[in-house]
């Protein structure tokens, strides 16, 4: 006997226009800061703000493809939010334009005098040049949007035909996409972040950014679901077991991120090479050192111990608090990685950093909600959720 399927709205659609308006207002304030504080201050504030939201969008595509390949009920609640976030990458491509416009204020290797007279930077000019940088950036976004679009098309096709061949084709695209995402994130992290210190290199750095993107996505969708838990639409279907699965995956990514970052630090500390240690020397003194301590405590130790407690993972309110803590620390960690490249040991945080963070976030949230609105939060057309529907799940519209 087929259960009654009722349609209830989560109500997130009402936040779409407020998010856009907030983004526009704070964007206008940021543009005013461009003229008040100067272009250098604006562009250097824009980059970490952009990277924070970019990590969520791109990490969502990576986690979505991982879910398609592995399957499992852990993706029951997050597949649609992940898909909506991944399809917002075209918007992130448009929001990347200010970084291209402000390259000479952001990247030291744009200084021709440094590029021609510094022997280390001069050897890297074949890679560190604006033509190659822009071409690769465009290629990254085209590839990411292609995979997000193709997965969406195959999912809609599977909704119509329920053919095993369609599901297999979707899995193949996702499997190849995992290799693609590893390569593109690695090169993008080198271009957009590691090249801020053109004399410094680390083979662990791209892996740290890759894991960080996955963690950002898991944290965001978990926090998103925790906010929907109190709505009438989700009250009867979002179960403690679902939140527990997400909490366990968050714990795994928290541990993996800590492992990769500590491995990089340990290798550089042990080697003690003058070409490598300045990266950590700058970030371990003064206010940057306080930031490093906060990252150790609130990005790893506190979430690690909290996510070991089952009662915290099973409760939407408490796991939402943990997710918010990690989400805040993700921004601090990105700023800690990026900003000292410009300011050295002197801590610097301008009000434009905050306004650009809200501006990019508001515009991105508008697109995220637009992509999610009008479809069911739960992919009820998938064969593996039929049992969940028989057990009393309801059809929930965003």
Closest CA to 171 of 68, 48, 19: 68
pLDDT value for 379 = 65
- Average pLDDT (315-342) is 97
Q: Provide the pLDDT confidence category of residue 398 given band limits of 50, 70 and 90.
A: low
- Model confidence at 3: pLDDT above 60: no
Q: Provide the pLDDT confidence category of residue 230 given band limits of 50, 70 and 90.
A: confident
Burial of 344 per CB tally in 10 Å (0-12, 13-18, 19+): middle
How confident is the model over 102-142, as pLDDT tens digits?
999 999 999 999 988 899 999 999 999 999 999 999 999 99
Burial of 87 per CB tally in 10 Å (0-12, 13-18, 19+): buried
- Model confidence at 331: pLDDT above 50: yes
**Average pLDDT score over the chain:** 90
pLDDT value for 384 = 53
Hey, what are 111's tokens? Answer: 């200084």
Tell which wins on pLDDT, 161 or 38: 38
Q: Provide the pLDDT confidence category of residue 74 given band limits of 50, 70 and 90.
A: confident
Q: Provide the pLDDT confidence category of residue 234 given band limits of 50, 70 and 90.
A: confident
pLDDT value for 261 = 96
Tell which wins on pLDDT, 147 or 377: 147
- Model confidence at 197: pLDDT above 90: yes
How confident is the model over 26-37, as pLDDT tens digits?
999 999 999 999
Q: Residue 196 and residue 182: Cα distance in Å, rounded?
A: 21
Q: Provide the pLDDT confidence category of residue 380 given band limits of 50, 70 and 90.
A: low
Hey, what are 6's tokens? Answer: 């009722």
pLDDT value for 77 = 83
Length of the chain: 398
Q: Which residue has the tokens 């004399």?
A: 199
- Model confidence at 389: pLDDT above 50: no
Percent of the chain whose pLDDT exceeds 90: 77
Least confident of 1-5, 163-167, 304-308: 1-5
Least confident of 74-83, 190-199, 307-316, 350-359: 74-83
- Four-residue CA torsion sign, 144, 145, 146, 150: positive
Encode the chain in three state secondary structure. Answer: CCCCCCEEECCHHHHHHHHHHHHHHHHHHHHHHHHHHCHHHHHHHHHHHHHHHHHHHHHHHHHHHHHHHHCCHHHCCCHHHHHHHHCCHHHHHHHCHHHHHCHHHHCHHHCHHHHHHCHHHHHCCCCCCHHHHHHHHHHHHHHHHHHHHHHHHHHHHHHHHCCHHHHHHHHHHHHHHHHHHHHHHHHHHHHHCHHHCCCCCCCCHHHHHHHHHHHHHHHHHHHHHHHHCCCHHHHCCCCHHHHHHHHHHHHHHHHHHHHHHHHHHHHHHHHCCCCCCHHHHHHCCHHHHHHHHHHHHHHHHHHHHHCCCHHHHHCHHHHHHHHHHHHHHHHHHHHHHHCHHHHCCCCCCCHHHHHHHHHHHHHHHHHHHHHHCCCECCCCCCHHHHHHHHCCCCEEEC
pLDDT value for 317 = 94
Count of alpha carbons within 13 Å of 81, Cβ hemisphere only? 22
Tell which wins on pLDDT, 382 or 277: 277
Tell which wins on pLDDT, 4 or 19: 19
- Average pLDDT (283-295) is 96
pLDDT value for 14 = 87
Closest CA to 65 of 85, 51, 50: 85
- Model confidence at 6: pLDDT above 50: no
Hey, what are 333's tokens? Answer: 């960690």
Q: Residue 156 and residue 162: Cα distance in Å, rounded?
A: 10
Q: Provide the pLDDT confidence category of residue 361 given band limits of 50, 70 and 90.
A: very high
pLDDT value for 4 = 39
Q: Residue 382 and residue 156: Cα distance in Å, rounded?
A: 11
């Amino acid at each position: 006997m087929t259960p009654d399927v009722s349609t209830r709205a989560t109500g997130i659609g009402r936040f779409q226009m407020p998010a856009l308006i907030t983004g526009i207002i704070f964007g206008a304030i940021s543009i005013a800061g461009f003229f008040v504080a100067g272009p250098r201050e604006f562009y250097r504030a824009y980059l970490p703000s952009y990277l924070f939201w970019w990590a969520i969008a791109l990490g969502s595509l990576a986690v979505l493809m991982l879910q398609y390949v592995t399957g499992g009920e852990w993706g029951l609640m997050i597949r649609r939010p992940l898909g909506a976030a991944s399809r917002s990458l075209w918007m992130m491509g448009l929001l990347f334009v200010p970084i291209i416009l402000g390259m000479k204020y952001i990247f030291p290797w744009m200084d021709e005098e440094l590029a021609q007279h510094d022997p280390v930077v001069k050897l890297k000019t074949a890679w560190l040049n604006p033509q190659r940088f822009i071409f690769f950036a465009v290629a990254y976004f085209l590839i990411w949007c292609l995979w997000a679009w193709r997965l969406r098309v195959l999912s809609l096709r599977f909704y119509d035909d329920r053919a095993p061949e369609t599901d297999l084709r979707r899995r193949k695209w996702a499997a190849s996409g995992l290799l693609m995402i590893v390569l593109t994130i690695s090169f993008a992290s080198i271009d957009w972040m590691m090249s801020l210190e053109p004399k410094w290199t680390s083979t662990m750095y791209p892996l740290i950014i890759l894991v960080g993107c996955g963690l950002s996505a898991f944290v965001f969708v978990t926090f998103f679901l925790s906010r929907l838990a109190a709505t009438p639409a989700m009250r009867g279907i979002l179960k403690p077991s679902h939140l527990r699965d997400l909490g366990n995956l968050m714990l795994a990514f928290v541990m993996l991120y800590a492992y990769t970052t500590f491995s990089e630090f340990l290798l550089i500390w042990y080697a003690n090479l003058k070409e490598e240690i300045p990266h950590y020397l700058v970030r371990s003194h003064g206010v940057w050192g306080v930031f490093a301590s906060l990252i150790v405590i609130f990005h790893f130790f506190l979430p690690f111990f909290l996510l070991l407690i089952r009662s915290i993972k099973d409760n939407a309110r408490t796991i939402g608090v943990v997710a918010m803590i990690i989400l805040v620390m993700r921004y601090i960690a990105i700023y800690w990685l990026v900003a000292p490249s410009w300011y050295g040991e002197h801590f610097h945080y301008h009000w434009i950093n905050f306004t650009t963070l809200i501006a990019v976030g508001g515009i991105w949230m508008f697109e995220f909600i637009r992509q999610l609105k009008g479809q069911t939060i739960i992919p009820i057309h998938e064969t593996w959720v039929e049992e969940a529907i028989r057990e009393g799940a309801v059809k929930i519209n965003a």
